[in-house]
A and B are shown apart, each in its own frame.
Chain A
Amino acid sequence: MMDGVFGLSFFWIAFWVYLLSFLVFVVFFAVRNRLPGRIAAILFFAALALHTVGIIARWRFFGHIPLATMFEYSLVLSWIIAVSFVLLLFRFDFMISGVVISPIVIIIMVIASFLPKEGSKQLMPALQSYWFYIHITLAALAEGAFLVAAGASVYYLFRSARTNSYSGEMERVEGLIIKSIRIGYPLFTIGALFAGSLWAWKAWGSFWSWDPKETGALVVWLFYTLILHQQSRGRWEGRTLAMVSIVGFLIIIVSFLGNLFFGGLHAYV
């Protein structure tokens, strides 16, 4: 266990428990019985606990927050999304959001499984900065919020295809999409763009270098700016909002994985 891929067992087990939880959430969604919902939630909490232990173990072993590689970022991102379910459940009693959130967590963990898993106790010089914590943590929180919005959008489209009426549940899901975007946008602007620019200025002497990751972040930001402008004009609601939120998710994924193929200044994360 004490090697460069420390903590993997926890994530591996957590992944399977999340998957099981998702399947039970699907049953809950189909039968609308509280019992399978509770079982699914308990499984989800168990997976989240394992996930948390894995992150803490990796953090302690390597001596820095596990955000230094794309693999670590994916694990923290999926953890943030998983935590959002806990908030939605306890704060708003929004059990059905499990159907939305568990598959996103699983997708991110699947993506993580394809990424190099080695860690290092020594952060490379460019990452040895307090901006590392600010920039990447806020970016992960923001992207987590956007991904929750995308998951809720899939659910919204699925439900709206089956019914024509705008029920209270649909209103709640639409509210979740809007709120997630409204939480994600300022975090992304401050964390990913501004903190990233300031850090780039400190480390590389330039606020902006048109690096693939930076450009990807700009496209993401512009796209969500567009969504918010349309929202303020009373446009892009309901199904349209759900669809554009899913497009936003796709842009985030391309931006996230882009530097795997494109390289650039962010090639290590």
Chain B
Amino acid sequence: MKMKRGIWKGLITGRAAVMIIAVLTLASAVGWVFSEIIPNDINFHEDIYRAKWGNFTFALVNYLGLHDPFHSFWYRGVLAFFTLSLLLCIITGWKVFIVHSFRFSPPSILKKSAGKPPAMEIGWSKLARSGIEKKDILGYYEKAFGRDIEIDTGQISEGYSNVAAYLTRKRYRVKSKETDDGVLFSALRGRWHYPGNMLFHIAILVIAIGGMIGSFQGKKEIMYARKGDVLTLFNSQLSIRIDRFNIIQTREGEIRSYITELSFMNSSGDSIQSEKVEVNNPARYGRYDIYQSTYYVDEEEFEWARITYRLGENDRTESIAIKSGQKIELPSTDWTIEIKGYSPDFRKGKEAYYTGSNRMFNPALLIEIAGSFGRKPGWLFLKYPSFNFSFDLPVKFSVDYIEPVYYTGLQISSNPGTRLIILGIAMAAVGLLFLFCSSYRLLKGKVEKTGLFIIIAREGGGKMSKREISGMKKDLKSILRDIIIADTGKEG
């Protein structure tokens, strides 16, 4: 039982929190390095890496998950321990964090002689004899002057009032209690500091929980689709239809944006919502998020082509846009044109034509012109128009542009942890604002017959710098000196 209590106490100490943060920092740094130096495909090419590293090293790397350290058991273990530590910190620390910030009362007794001297000690004797002190040597005034100057009850009240007014000006809230020999008081500033700290800690926990939910329950998939395709969302009743996909380029050819217009469809195939998705502007329906993730260009097929033809008689040029397999009438003629074939990388073999690759290295269209003369097929070349077929007609045909088929790459996500993460981030931002914009200070003091004593309370960790202490002390001496001077008639 004692041991259990010991472990519990050990876990909730500041030292334990620091230890776990240090371990997590180290583990993250180690994971950072390993994730970059060890390829993440070792399980796909096991033979290669076994041969390269040897069986033992491969097994060790695989066991420790060094190829994907942030999903390894040891990193997850550290994260779990961090989360546990955070949870314990919140459970056990809320009293210190919250209660001390709002509920404070004047001390029943000022323990100025409990080992450590008060942080500020201003004796009336010293004030009276030497005016504003330049050095603060504890107990100096007693040794130097032998006898304490004591003030009466009225002056104690006046002294306290001045101190309280000063502290109020410094944004402290002051509470006091009169005793037989003086006035005890507490002064608190920055009461939102620790609630902010608490909120920040809770927020990190909320984010961690949201992340874990997303990690275990979330789904993510990248799907490629072209115009008209229908994609089912994670085997649900819901699907999306791609209505349009556009890549917008600048004049210099840089990609400005790529946009997918899509419709959400129900199980009956009815469109229930239309959305435009682009990078940084996802579409949302229910628990599904659709992101414009990437795109893919399929050069093996083409979407449409622009064919220009020049009528020999008056040199007039006409252009038409034609899709694969489409047959259309040629304006200003009584002929028709039809796309009969397409080769992204046209090559001529000994016996037949063929495609050398699926890339558009030498794109060519096989067209067929039909008219009163019958049907005349022939090839048109995008990059080498001098090789275009002549068709034995008084018209010259050429292909100006061939658009490959663009597939939009959409990421379909469903992450039930999203709301928690966003809530956590909002809480953390507010918490940080309170935490760093208000400085917690808790002073406990007493104005009594022999002087003013102030202790800087360490409850909740409030800490004042030496500069701040000396500045405050200087101000307080200046305020209190007037009372003494009025009483003794002595100038410093």
Do A and B truly interact? yes
B283 to chain A, nearest CB (A): 11
Residue numbers in B under 8 Å from A5 (CB-CB): none
Residues of B contacting A182 with CB < 8 Å? 436
> Residues of A contacting B450 with CB < 8 Å?
none
Among candidates A125, A171, A189, A210, residue contacting B278 with C-beta atoms closer than 8 Å: A125
Set of chain A residues within 8 Å of B32, measured between Cβ atoms: 212, 215-216, 219, 258
B255, A223: Cβ atoms closer than 8 Å:
no
Q: Which of B289, B413, B436, B467 has the most A CB atoms < 10 Å from its CB?
A: B436
Of the candidates A125, A185, A230, the one whose C-beta lies within 8 Å of that of B436 is A185
Interface flags, A207-248, vs B, CB<8A=1, else 0: 110101001101100110110011011100000000000000
Per-residue interface assignment for chain A, residues 90 to 131, with 1 indicating a CB less than 8 Å from any chain B CB and 0 otherwise? 000000000000000000000000000000111011101101
For A47-75 the 0/1 string (1 means CB < 8 A from B) is: 00000000000000000000000000000
The interface residues of chain B lying within 8 Å CB-to-CB of A219 are 25, 28-29, 32
Is the Cβ of B35 less than 8 Å from the Cβ of A212? yes
**Contacts known (A122-B254, A201-B418); A215 close to B289, Cβ less than 8 A:** no
Q: Could you tell me the distance between the alpha carbons of A204 and B291 in the complex, rounded to whole angstroms? A: 7
User: Is B421 located at the chain interface by the 8 A CB criterion?
Assistant: yes
Contact mask A121-162 → B, CB, 8 Å, 1/0?
A: 110111011010000000000000000000000000000000
Q: Pick the interface stretch among B233-241, B317-325, B458-466.
A: B458-466
Q: Which of A6-14, A19-27, A76-84, A190-198 contacts B (4 or more CB under 8 A)?
A: A190-198
Chain A residue contacts of B252, Cβ below 8 A: 122
Cβ of B274: which chain A residues have Cβ within 8 Å of it?
none
CA gap between A203 and B277 in the complex, in Å: 11
In the assembled complex, the CB of B38 is this many whole angstroms from the nearest CB of chain A, namely: 12
> When chains A and B are docked, how far (Å) is the Cα of A120 from the Cα of B293?
22
Across the interface, which residues of A come within 8 angstroms of B36, CB to CB?
A: 212, 258, 261-262
A232 to B15, CA, bound (A): 11
CB neighbours of B28 from chain A (8 A)? 215, 218-219, 222
Are A207 and B211 within 8 A (Cβ)?
Answer: yes
Report if B429 contacts A (CB, 8 A).
yes
Chain A residue with Cβ nearest B197: A232
CB within 8 Å for A204 and B257 given contacts A175-B467, A215-B28, A215-B70:
no
* Nearest-CB residue, chain A, relative to B411: A205
Most A Cβ at <10 Å: residue of B14, B214, B250: B14
- Please tell me which one of the listed residues B24, B278, B289, B433 contacts residue A222 in the complex, with CB atoms under 8 A apart: B24
A197 to B203, CA, bound (A): 15
Interface pair A171/B14, CB less than 8 Å apart: no
Contact of A229 among B14, B29, B35, B250 (CB under 8 A): B14
Number of interface residues of B (CB under 8 A): 50
In the assembled complex, which residues on chain A have CB atoms less than 8 Å from the CB atom of B421? 197, 201, 207
Selected contact of A189 from candidates B291, B411, B428, B465, CB within 8 Å: B428
State whether B280 touches A205 (Cβ < 8 A).
no
A204 to B411, CA, bound (A): 8
Contact B279 A126 (CB under 8 A): yes
Compute how far the CA of A121 lies from the CA of B436 in the bound complex, rounded to whole angstroms: 38
Q: Is B382 in contact with chain A by the CB < 8 A criterion?
A: no
Is A230 within 8 A of B254, CB to CB? no
Please give me the residue from chain B that is nearest to A174 by CB atom: B465
8 Å CB contacts to A: which residues of B32-61? 32, 35-36
Q: Does A202 contact B (CB under 8 A)?
A: yes
Cα(A207)–Cα(B18), bound, Å: 26
Q: Could you give, for residues 347-391 of chain B, a 1 whenever the CB lies within 8 Å of some chain A CB and a 0 otherwise?
A: 000000000000000000000000000000000000000000000
Residue from B17, B31, B214, B466 within 8 A of A207 (CB atoms): B214
Alpha-carbon distance between A185 and B433 when the two chains are bound, in angstroms = 11
Known A212-B35, A222-B21, A232-B461; judge A205-B14 contact (CB<8 A): no
Q: In chain B, residues 426-448, which have Cβ atoms closer than 8 Å to a Cβ of chain A?
A: 428-429, 432-433, 435-436
Q: Which of chain A's residues has its CB closest to B250's CB?
A: A122
Residues in A with CB closer than 8 Å to B18 are: 226, 229-230, 233
Nearest residue, chain B, Cβ from A232? B461
Separation of A125 and B257 alpha carbons in the complex (Å): 5
By a CB distance below 8 angstroms, the chain B residues around A218 are 28
Residue B224, interface by CB 8 Å: no
Instruction: Known A230-B18, A262-B36; judge A205-B282 contact (CB<8 A).
Output: yes
Instruction: Flag if A226 contacts B411 (CB, 8 Å).
Output: no
**Residues of chain A within 8 A of B485, CB atoms compared:** none
B256 interfacial contact with A, CB 8 Å: yes
A205 to B288, CA, bound (A): 11
Contact A186 B432 (CB under 8 A): yes
* Alpha-carbon separation in the docked complex, A220 to B9 (Å): 29
How near does chain A come to B219, taking the closest CB pair, in angstroms?
Answer: 11
Q: Choose among A122, A208, A251 the residue that contacts B256 (Cβ–Cβ < 8 A).
A: A122
B220 interface residue per 8 A CB criterion: yes
Instruction: Enumerate B250-286 residues with CB–CB distance to A below 8 Å.
Output: 250, 252, 254-258, 278-282
- Of the A-B pairs whose beta carbons lie under 8 Å apart in the complex, a sample of 9, sorted by A's number, is A124-B255, A126-B279, A182-B436, A190-B429, A202-B281, A206-B220, A206-B413, A207-B214, A215-B31
B residues with CB within 8 A of A:
14-15, 17-18, 21-22, 24-25, 28-29, 31-32, 35-36, 70, 211, 214, 220, 250, 252, 254-258, 278-282, 289, 291, 293, 411, 413, 418, 421-422, 425, 428-429, 432-433, 435-436, 461, 463, 465-467
